[in-house]
């Protein structure tokens, strides 16, 4: 690795899924990295990366970031909470806002006072809403319409960040990704992986929805582009692999990457919706059955950016050992 450049990046959330991958990638560039970790967290095998020094306790309105901000030119803020305890809607919103809104705006104010030039904020497509019509994707200039507490907390953070940045003359960049997948990711993607792994038959073969996703390598590549690209300043970008999939196509892609058969069979959508409602799983049914598409044409145009990794290659990277075993076995003459 060559000589470090003058640009110093503060990365938050380096012990999380996206932050850990981003820290590894930044460490291979000429940028200087400062990436404090949460007290008691394990930085996802990044412990040997230079720049992972210092710890913070809670991320909220009272967090002191000043000791990490000296000489920092750019902040990439990935730290967030995406799940809180099931409670009343008001309590959930309060818990999300404590970190996602108050914590973000506290960092932005201290960044402005410290002379930081650019603040890159990893937001969420949930700011736009929870679903789209088929073939009617979200656009970067659509009016926000969050439908849950998480989306509201991210929207409030976006709004406050823009106000702080404009008052201080600090550039902001906001990135709204959909579901992010990659090796060892948890959440909804991991649930789908486990269903394929266990060979569970799923009644989804005739679902014709379309959903946008983004592989971790593509998201990291876009975030790094947004740290320096002059046309990224004061913009909101939607992010995806630019290749939308139906739920059945995603499951087939996961199965192919794992070298396993996909066990899908048809069932009328209305039957699935009714069954999910009866067992209190309507939200899960929406994610499996409805469309959620993003139009990233403006992202590609302004940044001259194209996702470097295809969807199937991104899925293959999730299961390198399984894929290799499948390829080796296919060469055997039985």
Active-site residue numbers? 150
- Tell me the two tokens of residue 318: 């999730």
In this structure, how many other beta carbons lie within 10 angstroms of the beta carbon of residue 299? 26
Which of 164, 150, 179 is CA-nearest to residue 113?
A: 164
Please state, in angstroms and rounded to a whole number, the distance separating the CA atoms of residues 60 and 99.
5
CB 142, CB 128: distance < 8 Å: yes
- Strands annotated E in 70-170: 74-77, 118-122
Residue 214's closest CA among 307, 289, 144?
Answer: 307
Contact between residue 101 and residue 123 where contact means Cβ atoms under 8 Å apart: no
Three state DSSP letters for 284-304: HHHHHHCEECECCHHHHHHHC
Q: How many CA atoms lie within 13 A of 56 on its CB side?
A: 24
Q: How many of the other CB atoms lie within 10 Å of CB of 332?
A: 6
């Amino acid at each position: 690795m060559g000589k470090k450049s003058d640009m110093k990046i503060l990365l938050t959330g380096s012990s999380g899924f996206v932050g850990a991958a981003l820290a590894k990638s930044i460490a291979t560039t000429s940028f200087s990295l400062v990436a404090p970790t949460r007290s008691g967290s394990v930085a996802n095998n990044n412990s040997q990366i230079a720049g992972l020094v210092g710890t913070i306790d809670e991320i909220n309105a009272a967090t002191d970031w000043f000791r990490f901000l000296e000489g920092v030119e750019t902040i990439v803020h990935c730290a967030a909470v995406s799940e809180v305890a099931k409670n009343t809607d008001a309590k959930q919103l309060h818990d999300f806002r404590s970190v996602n809104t108050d914590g973000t705006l506290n960092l932005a104010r201290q960044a402005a006072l410290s002379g930081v030039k650019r603040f890159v904020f990893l937001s969420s497509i949930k700011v736009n809403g929870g679903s789209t019509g088929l073939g009617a994707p979200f656009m970067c200039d659509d009016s926000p319409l969050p439908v849950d507490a998480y989306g509201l907390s991210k929207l409030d953070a976006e709004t406050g960040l823009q106000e702080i940045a404009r008052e201080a003359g600090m550039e902001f960049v906001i990135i709204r990704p959909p579901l992010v997948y990659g090796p060892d990711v948890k959440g909804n993607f991991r649930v789908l992986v486990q269903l394929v792994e266990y060979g569970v038959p799923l009644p989804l073969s005739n679902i014709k929805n379309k959903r946008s996703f983004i592989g971790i390598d593509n998201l990291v590549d876009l975030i790094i582009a947004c740290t320096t690209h002059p046309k990224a300043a004061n913009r909101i970008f939607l992010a995806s692999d630019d290749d939308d999939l139906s739920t059945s196509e995603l499951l087939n892609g996961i199965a192919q990457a794992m070298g396993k058969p996909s066990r899908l069979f048809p069932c009328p959508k209305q039957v699935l919706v009714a069954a999910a409602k009866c067992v209190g799983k309507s939200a899960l049914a929406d994610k499996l059955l409805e469309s959620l598409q993003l139009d990233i044409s403006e992202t590609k145009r302004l940044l001259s950016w194209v996702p470097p990794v295809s969807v199937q290659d991104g899925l293959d990277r999730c299961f390198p050992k399984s894929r290799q075993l499948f390829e080796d076995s296919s060469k055997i003459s039985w």
